Amino acid sequence: MGVLEELVYHVIRQDFVIKFFALVGLRIISRKLKPQPDAPNPLNLKMNKEITQLTERHVAATYGRYPIALIKGKGMHVWDASGNKYLDFVAGVAVDSLGHCPPRVVQAIRKQAGQLLHVSNWFHIEPQARLAAEITRLSFGNKVFFCNSGTEANEGAIKLARRFYVDQGQKNKTEIITTYKAFHGRTLGAMSATPQEKIQKGFGPLVPSFKYVPFDDIAAMKKAITAKTCAVMVEPIQGESGVNIPDKKYLKELRKLCTKRNVLLILDEIQTGFGRTGHLFAYQGFGAKPDIMTLAKGLGAGVPIGALVMTNRVAKSLGPGTHGSTFGGNPLVCAAALASVDIVGQKDFLKNVRDTGKYFLSRLKELSRKFSIIKEVRGMGLILAIDIDGSSAAVAKDCMEQGILVNSIQPGTLRFIPPLIVSQKNIDTLIRVLTKSLARLS
């Protein structure tokens, strides 16, 4: 080997050795920095401050926010701007039904985004038509109207119920009965259907012709219905009020009552729809088909979409010009929802939700036997709650500091609405953290 060749050889060899050890060093460092699964880091809020300060300066203060900015999600976990990892039992308030950034949904969004983002509903939209066909195949409904959120879907249901009886020549049949502790949304009509002072206060006058009765009380409903009643509107399970589950016969009896009294039954399945209870729709578990059903949250698995599902009988009252939405049912969100529905609609998937929900409920009941401050445990599928004799907000904050996100939905009530892919291992991790938090509270 000549001098020149030997020099080149040593240079290349030295460069290779440097690069090799640099790569090994980076991998060692990255492994040390990478959080272990379900092992939360000590909470570091330093890097979150810039985002939280921007929010406080420029975003309307309509939410009481935790002091963290979530910037990344995968499966059951999210990360904040400081790199802290959290196990998520909130799921964007029951929206991220398949976890964060589910691959098939992300793939569908990417494909559709490169093909067609938005066109007017003056034209036929393929993903919208296919999604409507899937929803009607899987439910009682024959027709679907798409919008952008749950409150919009409920506004549509209110309009449809009143218009239906006008078209029947019964113009005085405009009254809608809802239940105390219900939550149907924050737009004016949906808010008027939500008999909670904290929601309605300061926004009067409300939309007239709403009447309220206690939830899970058939006798009260029978008494309230009059010749002016056009619809009864209820949630199969009251989610925002703390997971209030009615008697198994309640919805069946409500269905019979509405049929007998010529009143439409509207089921608000914004939170319970698309697998949350272990059935694709909660009404299927209770055995009571509605005339109108509203959907949102889990339908899009993370993208904003709402839907109004109805029978042919009532759908006739939604002709051209009676209702509409510029963005409702656009190609992008419908492509995402199609991917979501294809997964959640599988029998094995729903069975797993039911089985995991039973395990979750049993672990919460086990916890209640250890702590007398737990007053009640309830749940169906993967919508569950516990009532505690103490501050649920304090428990939620403590859990966050230990790397678990839970929801303090009412004073003294913790709600658990995780992604439907939650595992028993994830639940066990939550129980360990809750045990520590409740011990401190006790």
User: What is the pLDDT at residue 29?
Assistant: 38
pLDDT higher than threshold 60 for residue 314: yes
User: What is the pLDDT at residue 44?
Assistant: 64
Please state, in angstroms and rounded to a whole number, the distance separating the CA atoms of residues 380 and 359: 11
355 catalytic per annotation: no
pLDDT one-digit tens code per residue, 250-290: 999 999 999 999 999 999 999 999 999 999 999 999 999 99
pLDDT category, 47, cuts 50, 70, 90? confident
286 catalytic per annotation: no
User: Which H or E run contains 86?
Assistant: strand 85-88
Mean pLDDT rounded to a whole number for the chain = 91
183 catalytic per annotation: yes
* 377, 365 Cβ separation under 8 angstroms: yes
pLDDT one-digit tens code per residue, 166-222: 999 999 999 999 999 999 999 999 999 999 999 999 999 999 999 999 999 999 999
**Per-residue pLDDT averaged across 141-157, rounded?**
98
Q: Where are the domains of the chain?
A: 3-34, 49-101+348-441, 103-345
Set 85, 173, 181, 297: catalytic member: 297
Set 80, 268, 291, 398: catalytic member: 268
User: What is the pLDDT at residue 45?
Assistant: 66
User: What is the pLDDT at residue 442?
Assistant: 77
**Per-residue pLDDT averaged across 77-87, rounded?**
95
Q: Of 114, 147, 115, 100, which is closest to residue 128 (Cα–Cα)? A: 147
pLDDT category, 10, cuts 50, 70, 90? very low
For 329, the 3-state DSSP assignment is: coil
Least confident of 51-55, 143-147, 201-205: 51-55
User: What is the pLDDT at residue 16?
Assistant: 44
User: Which H or E run contains 251?
Assistant: helix 250-260
pLDDT higher than threshold 70 for residue 6: no
**Per-residue pLDDT averaged across 358-370, rounded?**
97
Set 183, 210, 281, 286: catalytic member: 183
pLDDT higher than threshold 70 for residue 439: yes
pLDDT higher than threshold 80 for residue 40: no
pTM here is 0.89
User: What is the pLDDT at residue 43?
Assistant: 59
For 294, the 3-state DSSP assignment is: strand
Q: Where does 49-101+348-441 sit in CATH, by number?
A: 3.90.1150.10
CATH of 103-345, one of 1.10.530.10, 3.40.640.10, 3.30.70.20, 1.10.287.130: 3.40.640.10
pLDDT higher than threshold 80 for residue 325: yes
